[in-house]
Structure 1
């Protein structure tokens, strides 16, 4: 019989299609109580059983649905919210799979997230997992911990108000985070070092906070694949002279969500000692309004010497990403390039709040990224790089127009494609899923850290 006298006041027992799945020797009363309770077992559903005079005094039955990793992740997030500040004992069934354990643990951490600078209390209750020792469990717990830590960082960076978060502050956070990890190097460019980065200088030129270009390198010995990750880092977006309305501007502290995900994934790769070379590129700027702000009609010269006619100062993300992509093509010789950006409102119109748009001319790469996203719990949908629309990019005074007519998310992807040819490339427009209006399964209200989990899953599978 399990001695619960010194255990917590709340125990968690998973429930699947066949009912509760307790492990170990529960006392007879508790076992009977759990066994007689009807619960549908829907993933993320929590049923509370009270035992006022017993120990534990509360039992939460947590639905795990069909038992897929995503179902266990939903269960973990649901129970940590239901328990509040209670210490939890999670009683796992015998021989729980490694995927289930990883999903549950990620859910516990992600569901317990609170923005650390706004809420000083602990982010989640203490959790003790009760399971048998089985080879592989330690690896699952490590993967879950690193993934959750990376997602927390991406959420924290994105949730930080823009009264604090400017390009210099963001660059300083990256340097500080990387300093505690062996094998990472960080280069921060500013001022005259940005001479060739015409797009970044144009977008950041209207702000009192000058732009930065950050390069993070993870280059383990023996790595044979070189991946470049590019993340849009607009620390606040007023829309510039093409100013946004108030409702469109109030959440624009999140416009660096792509950069946050890329930073977090690169640090996570170092934590896992992944045997793949990674270079992360972060063009950081604040798109503000002043006498020095760039104007509609201006012609911008990018890092590769090509030019873009600015037709909408609120389409600034693609302009800074273009410099980063051109830099990667000229300086880094990568095997593949992935860029993440909170780029267009059209993403949300087309695909809703929880799905990113995926663009790539490479079928194998697109399939691998979508699979990594599905496993990580970050959904994406592939949209076409339709050549029918390329004529819309033509300009009378430059090599291209920055914001042409046509389907918004597709046109942005076609603009970016112009800067990186000949190498495997994918673009994720993740504006919509970068933010959640409420606690929702493994998402907490506010920044979601979207992309960090997908990138770590994908990078972990590379040779």
Structure 2
């Protein structure tokens, strides 16, 4: 990750960047070139719009202008991402900042916009960017939090972008163990084989793959923590659909079906990096949903961690089966104050809300509000959908406690209601985020680089920060 440095010294050897708000005002006395830059800035209203100064300068050698719109967090984040992409990766910059700057959002945008997948052929940005302000000490903490957020998002993106030929459950678990080992106070336990006896959904989904399933439990438990948050993330390392096989277009990108697991792991590591006084337990049920002689079938009845049963009506509705076990475990064993699960769960959520907004479900108004606000601040939008009890009728089975995939519509709602059944009394302090749509970007836009977005890592980290405020 390229370096960002706060400074109060002008550097003529760097390209100067001038953020321009809707007022068009400049934040520095630039002498003879000020009038020319002000003229070029006229009409530069859109956040992230870039204009190159049209002639060589003696001081500095090159300059460009970037719009920051109304100057809110999303505008500064968009401006930062645009700056990262506007110049070559080895070009050193100095961004000229005034008194009103959303420093964390700007820095997040710079780092997020400069993301490259670690195994991609394209080289990542390497040149340092200086953030010029007369009061650098005032922004040191904001810059540090931005760095932690960007590290979390990059980690989640890297995991999701990794090809399925590399990313089986063992590989993913090892990556998380390796990342945790670099942090003091983060522990990881991995359950496999006989340790998964009670996890009937997870075992069934992973049964046909030559790569066995596992459950990763990561813990950040700082001294003095008074709040315990359990984060649960769907971790299907590749989803063929199983016997209910997907179409070729629908299967092609299923390497990202573990994006929920990546997000909760990244947020937990971020909490440790920030030394947040919040206890976090992340549960990552990892499996590959393959086709084979050992595959579970539509019509099978599975027994989950809590002892209840599910009739499986569609083997491509596998995510809720592994989450059911993890949520049942969380409710029975963790005594958490809050449980939040994150999953690329249903195409229905994407149909309803598109590719930039996740679906949020919760019985708890306060929790739903806190997560929505965290997402707004982080730049990851959510929209709350209902959990009507009368829709539980859709889950009725004649041979089990419920069936897994209703055929009567409201797919995202029914899936959320299904998950809530495994929480008992803790359903009152639970939230489910279906981020199937925004987990992948078909093209680069704002701070999102084409590919896996790492959606959820930023939101969950902001939410955990809010609990410690």
**TM-score after normalising by structure 1:** 0.96
Deviations along 1:67-126, one digit per CA (max 9) or x if unpaired, are: 101110000001110112221110101x234xx111111000000001011136224542
| Residues 267-282 of structure 1: pairs in structure 2 closer than 5 A | 267-282=269-284
Q: Secondary structure of 2:53's match?
A: strand
Counterpart position of 1:68: 72
Counterpart position of 1:414: 417
Counterpart position of 2:5: none
Q: Conserved in 1, the CA contact under 8 Å of 2:114 and 2:124?
A: no
1:339 corresponds, among 337, 341, 354, to 341
Q: Secondary structure of 2:230's match?
A: strand
Counterpart position of 1:119: 121
**TM-score after normalising by structure 2:** 0.95
Deviations along 1:36-82, one digit per CA (max 9) or x if unpaired, are: 22232211111111333534332211111111011100000011101
Runs of 5+ in structure 1 lacking a partner? none
Counterpart position of 2:391: 389
Counterpart position of 1:181: 183
Q: Conserved in 2, the CA contact under 8 Å of 1:41 and 1:62?
A: no
| Residues 23-422 of structure 1: pairs in structure 2 closer than 5 A | 23=28, 25-26=29-30, 28-37=31-40, 38-52=42-56, 54-85=58-89, 86-93=91-98, 95-97=99-101, 100-119=102-121, 121-123=123-125, 125-133=127-135, 135-405=137-407, 406-422=409-425
Computed over aligned residues only, the root mean square deviation of the Cα atoms, in angstroms, reads 1.4
Deviations along 1:256-308, one digit per CA (max 9) or x if unpaired, are: 00000000000000000000000000000000001001100100110111100
* Cα distance change of structure 1 residues 341 and 124 upon mapping to structure 2, 3 Å threshold: farther
Q: Secondary structure of 1:388's match?
A: helix
2:22 corresponds, among 17, 25, 33, to 17
* Count of aligned pairs: 456
Deviation, structure 1 residue 360: 0.2
Q: Conserved in 2, the CA contact under 8 Å of 1:311 and 1:403?
A: yes
Q: Secondary structure of 1:13's match?
A: strand
Distance between the aligned counterparts of 2:82 and 2:128, measured in 1?
15
Distance between the aligned counterparts of 1:268 and 1:418, measured in 2?
30
Runs of 5+ in structure 2 lacking a partner? 1-7
Q: Conserved in 1, the CA contact under 8 Å of 2:12 and 2:60?
A: no
Deviations along 1:236-263, one digit per CA (max 9) or x if unpaired, are: 0000000000000101000000000000
